[in-house]
Structure 1
Amino acid sequence: MDDFQIVHIPEMLIVGIETKIKGDKEQLYKNVESLWSRFFREGVMNKIPNQKDNEILNIYSEYKKDNPVPQNCIMGKRVEFIDKKLPKGVMSIEIPAGKYMKFTAKGALPNCVREMWEFIHELEPEFSYAPSFEIYGPKTADPDNAEIDIYVAVK
């Protein structure tokens, strides 16, 4: 596993779709896979106004102190600003500026991401319980040899 960096991330505005997570890690994985399918099946990328770049973010939020599994998962894109009236079926979230541990998962999707999250939880970082997220950019074009940056909010 690669080492991590401590980075400061500016506030980000995200527009996308979400799903609630009820259960354990296996349920989380199923929900994330379902969200990916829905994101492309419903053409969500084309519905998001004011896109900032071509990257897709998978955001985990609503953590509980006694459970490392997030209660909410959002898949979306960074935007310059959030329209007052969003298209039907999409929502927005603000990721606050803050301190993050940055990891890079490398390998075949989705296994390399799952393995990196296992590694992260073994480190037992002092989570801040702000949203954590994965960024899927140009280096994910080959799903058998991908690189995904993972940002974990810490105190």
Structure 2
Amino acid sequence: MSQFKEEPCMPVLVTQEAIGVKGMFVRTSNRAEQDVNTQKIAPLWQGFMQRSDVQSNTSSPIYGCYFDYESDVNGEFNVLLGLMKEQVEPINSELTKLNLEAGEYLRFRAKGEMPEVVIKLWGEVWQYFNDENCSYSRRYLTDYECYTATDGVDIYIGVNRKLVV
């Protein structure tokens, strides 16, 4: 049985430096991810976790990066699973390099059973930004998940402050 906190998490505004990540990526959409026959993120995770350079870097955070958005939550986007560039063999040319944008992010945090806790937390992220009283808008440049433990995830969403009129 899954263990979730039932109250929504409160995001924290953080300023992040640019982060260099290197890994494997796919292009997908939220619609495609709803169907087991068209989803690409789960197979990407399976392939990524089987890599020897990932298995040998157990102390390094794993990043799930979302970038190159077509539009918003309804459009296509790229997903890259990777490690910080310094943690990956520099000669591995089959991996894609990505620089996560520096700037303001809202950090959402949760602990629980994987992957359910991640799916639930993304639901809370979408609910937060759909609230008419939300003080931030998504930038849709780079967003990312950071896994530092087997039972926890931080989701960072790039934001702009909404102008109050």
**TM-score scaled by structure 2?**
0.75
How far did 1:70 drift? 4.9
Report the more deviating stretch, 59-68 or 13-22.
59-68
Does the 8 A contact of 2:25 with 2:44 survive in 1? yes
Does the Cα contact within 8 Å between 2:29 and 2:74 map onto a contact in 1? Answer: no
CA spacing shift, 1:22–1:100, aligned 2, 3 Å = closer
More strand by share: 2
The residue type paired with residue 146 of structure 2 is I
**What amino acid sits opposite 1:41 in the alignment?**
Q
Asked if the contact 2:85–2:97 (Cα under 8 Å) also holds between the matched residues in 1, the reply is no
Alignment partner of 1:71: what SS?
Answer: strand
C-alpha distance in 2, partners of 1:92/1:27? 28
Alignment equivalent of 2:9, drawn from 2, 7, 24? 2
Q: How many residues align?
A: 144
Q: Which residue of 1 aligns with 2:82?
A: 76
* Structure 1 counterpart SS, 2:109: strand
Deviation of 1:20 (Å): 1.3
- Segments of 4+ in structure 1 off by > 6 A? none
Aligned match of 1:135 in 135, 146, 160? 146
Residue among 29, 37, 56 paired with 2:62: 56
- For 2:52 and 2:156, locate their aligned partners in 1 and report how far apart those are by CA, in whole Å: 26
- Give CA deviations for 1:65-121 in whole Å, capped at 9, x if unaligned: 3434551100001124998x7414211011121100001122111111111111111
Question: Identity over the aligned pairs, expressed in percent?
Answer: 21
Partner residue of 2:46? 37
2-side partners of 1:70 and 1:94: how far apart? Answer: 19
1:98 is aligned to 103
Unaligned 5+ runs, structure 2: 1-7, 130-135, 161-165
Where 1:127 maps in the other structure, the secondary structure is strand
1:26 aligns with 2:34: yes
TM-score by length of 1: 0.80
User: Partners in 1 of 2:112 and 2:55 — Cα distance?
Assistant: 28
Paired with 2:92 and 2:39, the residues of 1 have a C-alpha distance of 26
Unaligned ranges ≥5, structure 1: 141-145
Equivalent in 6, 18, 34 of residue 11 of structure 1: 18
Change in CA separation of 1:154 and 1:96 when aligned onto 2, cut-off 3 Å: same
